Chain A
Amino acid sequence: MGADRSTSERVGPVGVAIVDDDRRYGTALADLIELSDHFVVVGVAEGVESGNTLLGNQAVQLGLVDVNMAGGGGQAIIRTCRTWSERPTLVLISAQAPPPDVEELGVPFIAKDELDTQLLWTLWRQSAR
């Protein structure tokens, strides 16, 4: 069983990675997050494979992962991350309803149109506890 990177002591803003195949949404989300003092965007990936690579970056503490993507979507990424000894905190995001297996995956879900940095910060602090 691996540990969340959120549990390790860190100083400064939280490193965030965004994985979404919609480039415009990913860019907009990155722009919004950059406005917050709490977060810094480490990178934006547009697919499952590049998302796994990005999330493997030690600087990433929080991953925002889209549900609907080719190659298994956010669920595939979550299952891959589970095998890592150290992994970022992951949050599923979607413009649609939560997927039916969200409870089984054991990760939080946020509707895309409800996403804001305050909500993310609250969620991050909860997971860090």
Chain B
Amino acid sequence: MDLFLQQLTNGVVLGSVYALIAIGFTLTFGVLRLLNMAHGEFYMLGAFAAYLCSEMLHLPIWAAIPLALLLIYILATGVEKVALKPLRSAPHYIPLVSTIAVSTIAGELVRLGFGPHNRSFDTVISNVGMQIGPLTISPMQIFILVLSMILMVIVQLFLKRSKWGRAIRATAQDTTVSGLLGINANGVIGATFAISSVLGAVAGILMAMYFGAIYPSMGFVALIKAFTAAILGGMGSIPGAVLGGFVLGIAESLGSAYLPSGLSDALPYVMLFVVLLFMPGGLTRQKAIDATHHGAHQLGRGLIEKIFSRKAAAQQAKQRPDHAFGFAVICFILLCCLAPFLTDYVLRILVVIAVYAAMALGSNVILGLTGQLSLSHAAFYAIGAYSSGLLTTRFGFGFFSAMTVGMVISAALGALVSLATFRVRGYYLALVTLAFAEIIRVTIGHWTSFTGGMMGVRGIPAPQVGPWTIDSPLSFFYLSIVICAIAFVLYDVIAYSVKGRSMMALRDDELAARASGLPVLRLKIAAFTLSAIFPAVGGSLMAHYYTSINPDMAQMSETVSMLVIVVIGGLGSAAGAIFGSAVINLLPEAFRNLGDFRLLVYGSILLIMVLFQSHGVFSISGRLARRA
């Protein structure tokens, strides 16, 4: 009982900070319909700014914190102007990639400036426990709880009572109409982004004080907490975010006391998954917002324009084998002929490019063709890898049979996840899929008796294809480029089939698609199932290529890299996936000599590409837009 009360108290303190991060996250989502992947970085930047002011400028803490927050406000305003404002009319996944780039840049800048190690962050407020009845509580915990409560009340009053608050709420409800009513939408969006970031920064400072340490990579975990809490409570709702924050904090604290460790780490994701599936509006039952109908961009598109673009799509369909396809065929033949003359180093890079291109084609089926943002590709990648790894090392399966099993398992799970599409759409769907991926990752990491847990699987044999043993970079190159070509053709067949066309209609306007009698749910299930097969094949190949695998394969960063490939190459374009994969895999190789600055440069280039080529290089929709 004592443990229960103690953990409940700890959970409330933790929850109050989670609530603050979640409020900021949900505010940005409210006005921008944007999953701000850089929100965690503002949390981290807040803590570092406070550290800079207090430890390096030797300011007392009461002066250091406001100054730090001011710095964050200015910084966030700048980030919004540079990285988000130009993308206001772009499709919703483009600003998402832009925030990923911002997050990489911010994280790396801080690492370069402060060094990658943990720094002690100690304040005058004591964090030593005092015995109060059965509970041990520190003055710091009381301080954090009180301060975050006060802030929550202030935010709520600001939004409900002040003129700015009303403007923010009006913009969140309808950007276009509030614009017509004389609200400066751009100004409101900018201010909201900055306020959200400051709230994130406050949370970061409080957490730094609570745990007594700061480090450049602290933002990522905060980001996960933010969107779990925001979703739990109901996206876009401030009271919801507060409730979600507390529920998450308490659940985590109690979970870590009463559940086995694997389960307690998976707990937030399981909660996310269940809540999204059974109460898509979150605990406060917000109206589910459909990401396909958002912002001025979509509203401004008239009916006539839509009809025209569909005509254009039909024309495009007739022009099948387009020049991108021919180009790819030439590349394929050329590479196959040249391969024996290339060095092993180049061959290895080509293997990776081919495999990632094949996997990105899977993301293309779901995002490019069907317009659904799915974040579970890393899970299917890991499932493919583990199927091959475990079946070939322990059960004597051959290369192709193990790969087939992986494909079947992935497809089945893909279909299972797609059932969620019945209930949730847009970003909610993205988060269901993300929660699913995290559950898979934690399961692989903790099911030690079967998967080997964190120790992974090693000694995966070289694939045996007919008479050939695929164990050199050259043979691996041939295997992967053939599989990539099969994936390419398969994708092309899907895209230009009736089903593919129907998927695109669904992407462009779900309501219209439904009205014209398309089996929307069946199409989505088909898209999810098909798209899960591609990363499973990639995972299987990479398992044999690396010869050892571990649960890191299911990390979100893998999903993100597939997503970035698709966005850079151009949504829906098969040639684009190959181009995107080449860029993503060649850039790091080209920049290896930059040493410390490597990720920074990579992030900056990503940002520039998104800002100036927001439709991707080979985008079908981009070409259509120009034609229309």
A binds B: no
A residues lining the B interface (CB < 8 Å): none
* Chain B interface (Cβ < 8 Å from any Cβ of A): none
